[in-house]
A and B are shown apart, each in its own frame.
Chain A
Amino acid sequence: MWSLFLRDIRLNIRAGGGALTGVIFFLAVIATIPFGVGPDLNLLARIGPAILWIGALLACLLGLDRLFQADREDGSLDLLVLGDSRHMLALSVLTKCLAHWAGSVLPLVIAAPLLGLFMNMEPIGIGATALTLLVGTPAITFIGAAGAAVAVALPRGGLLISVLVLPLTIPVLIFGVSASYGAVADPDPFLQPFLILAALTLFLAVLGPVAAALALRHGAD
């Protein structure tokens, strides 16, 4: 499993990895918001966490279509499916998700505090948003894996995956944003939505890979 993780990380870093694309897209979204909303600093600070979360969510969806498609095109996917008897396929999928997250999504989380400055957010708000992103974005990857597995045989599956996955990520977005607000706005709680967010990630860490493995096994042709 460790070798699969390392291989996917290497693929992500070398030629044509999705890490930089996601970060640049994230930057583009966040940098254009102040131009659209206007120079009202209070308004920017208030919508900051929500905008960061939406930007990160959309950037997460960008590279998902390649998660299994690249492996399918060169025949590796067949061997991963055949390896089911040694390593459970769901476990291989989980490993691929974690590698994808570490390679493509973690850079977004690292970039988020810097982009928070663009939105005139307070330090504590920036910290809370980065923390909720760190805990919440794996859930998006796990849901995305199920979508990517369903659409693996389609040549232009990227858009379909986004449409399939986006509605399912709404709970993650809601609790992520409300926890971020809870850290700055006083009466709102931080801990409760944050714990629900963590629970969502753990729950989807099981459900997503199992669903993806099922789709991959039956989608083989």
Chain B
Amino acid sequence: MRLIAENLGGERGGETVFSGVGFALEKGQALIVTGPNGAGKSTLLRVVAGLLPVAAGRLLIEGGGEDFPSVASACHYLGHQNAMKTVLSVVENLRFWRDFAGADFLSAEEALETVGLDGIGHLPFGYLSTGQRRRAAIAKLLVSRRPLWLLDEPTAGLDKASEGRFAVLMRKHLEGGGIIVAATHLPLGLEGAQALVMGRVE
């Protein structure tokens, strides 16, 4: 599987946020997107996910086969918000996304154990701390199988131990033939990842 962007441009509300971005990722490769605030990192991720239209250039996924014909069908998108309901318990939230996304991978309980949240799955999501919420959202990446992970500031709010645990998860995902595109300010602990530095469009 390959994810290719050629001369990609993105805009928000008619304003060009970035242009001329290109990268090609084979399976097992990661891309770390960095840059100052407002450089268009989140916009790039949303364009890649297909939530915003491609304003210029080309974006395609190759070799996805029947299961993953488009980027949207092949990706897990972890945005700024955690996409979890505060009144439902953590396990209920994860079970819902597992059923909805299909392509089952880990069970909700196993996923929680992997991110170190075992034993609190019965609590409403709203009772968790910021870091725990983020870890529960990361567990969402594990309940269904997607080759491409699009991560927007994935480690925001995480402590050192959880960051380390997440780095292990990402490495495992890459070893299993996955692709990661992550926008971040913090080092993620991925060696050999490609880097893309975005600057403001003059």
Contact = CB atoms under 8 A, between A and B. Distances in A.
Given A3-B96, A86-B101, A220-B52, A11 B85 contact: yes
A52 B168 CA distance: 61
Given A3-B96, A10-B92, A78 B69 contact: no
Contacts, number: 70
B83 interface: yes
Interface stretch (B1-9, B30-38, B74-82, B158-166): B74-82
A15 B87 contact: yes
Nearest to A15: B87
B95 interface: yes
Interface in A57-78: 73-76, 78
A78 B79 CA distance: 9
A82 B52 CA distance: 11
Contact of B81 (A7, A73, A221): A73
A85 B85 contact: no
A173 to B, nearest CB: 34
A66 to B, nearest CB: 12
Contacts of A10: 88, 92
Nearest to B125: A74
Interface in B109-167: none
A7 B85 contact: yes
B96 A86 contact: no
Given A220-B52, A221-B52, A85 B81 contact: no
B43 to A, nearest CB: 9
Nearest to A80: B100
Nearest to A2: B99
A85 B79 contact: no
B88 A79 contact: no
A67 to B, nearest CB: 14
A41 interface: no
A14 interface: yes
| Most central of A6, A14, A81, A85 by chain B CB within 10 Å | A85
B57 interface: no
Interface residues of B, number: 31
B83 A82 contact: no
B67 to A, nearest CB: 10
A14 B87 contact: yes
Contact of A3 (B77, B81, B100): B100
Interface string B51-90: 1100000000000000001101101010111111111100
Contacts of B46: 220
Given A3-B99, A83-B101, A78 B85 contact: no
A11 B72 contact: no
B183 interface: no
Interface of B: 12-13, 46, 49-52, 69-70, 72-73, 75, 77, 79-88, 92, 95-97, 99-102
In the A-B complex, list the 4 residue pairs whose CB atoms are closest, starting with the nearest. Answer: A75-B81, A3-B99, A85-B73, A75-B83
21 contacts: A3-B96, A3-B99, A4-B100, A7-B85, A7-B96, A14-B88, A74-B84, A74-B86, A75-B80, A75-B81, A75-B82, A79-B97, A82-B50, A82-B72, A82-B77, A84-B72, A85-B69, A85-B70, A87-B100, A220-B46, A221-B52
Interface of A: 2-4, 6-7, 10-11, 14-16, 73-76, 78-79, 81-87, 220-221
Given A16-B87, A82-B72, A221-B52, 16 more contacts: A3-B96, A3-B99, A3-B100, A7-B88, A78-B49, A78-B77, A78-B83, A79-B77, A79-B100, A82-B49, A82-B50, A82-B75, A83-B101, A86-B73, A87-B100, A221-B12
